[in-house]
Amino acid sequence: MSETIHPFIQIMASMGKMSDQGQEHISIFDLTDDGDATFSVPLEHLGLTPERVNHVCNFRSRTFINFLGELLIRPRFREFYEVLITLNNYAEEMSSKFQHQDFGLRLKRDPDVLEFTFHISLLQELEQERKTQEIAGGKDIEMLLVKRKS
């Protein structure tokens, strides 16, 4: 009997390894005039195969796609921003015109990668979150708001 690891657990373990290694496995390669950015990560670095992705219904869930996209971006959002600014001089202006809603996700072949699309305003939101937490002294900002109301 072979032991099967749930793809979610495999992804989480692989994400931990990727966080330790930095951004070298993520390719950022496009920024449209509307502010939509595209990046990809090889399936092998997530511990997945194309067959496994196609057979797991969670990969079609908006919640799961957003979770995975943020998990990839959050630890390195500043690096994303720096790269995207070099791709388009209007990136900073675009980040305030629209608001990120959801990640898009496609499975691409040759090489096997997951390709994500998101709006650059997400990076501005993450920077604002970081600043808010810094001001709060690293405390959970929701706890501060609850204490303030009572």
For residue 29, the SS3 value is: strand
User: What's the confidence (pLDDT) of residue 118?
Assistant: 95
User: What's the confidence (pLDDT) of residue 39?
Assistant: 94
Phi-psi region of 139 (alpha: psi -120 to 50; beta: other; left: phi over 0): beta
CA–CA separation, 21 and 24 (whole Å): 7
CA–CA separation, 69 and 63 (whole Å): 10
With tokens 């921003």, the residue in question is 81
- Determine contact, residues 113/40, Cβ cutoff 8 Å: yes
In sequence order, the 6+-apart residues with CB closer than 8 A to the CB of 83 are 28
142, pLDDT greater than 80: no
Nearest to 95 by CA among 132, 141, 131, 126: 126
Predicted structure pTM score: 0.74
Average pLDDT over the chain, rounded to an integer:
77
- Determine contact, residues 28/80, Cβ cutoff 8 Å: yes
Query: What is the tens place of the pLDDT at every residue in 4-15?
Result: 556 666 666 666
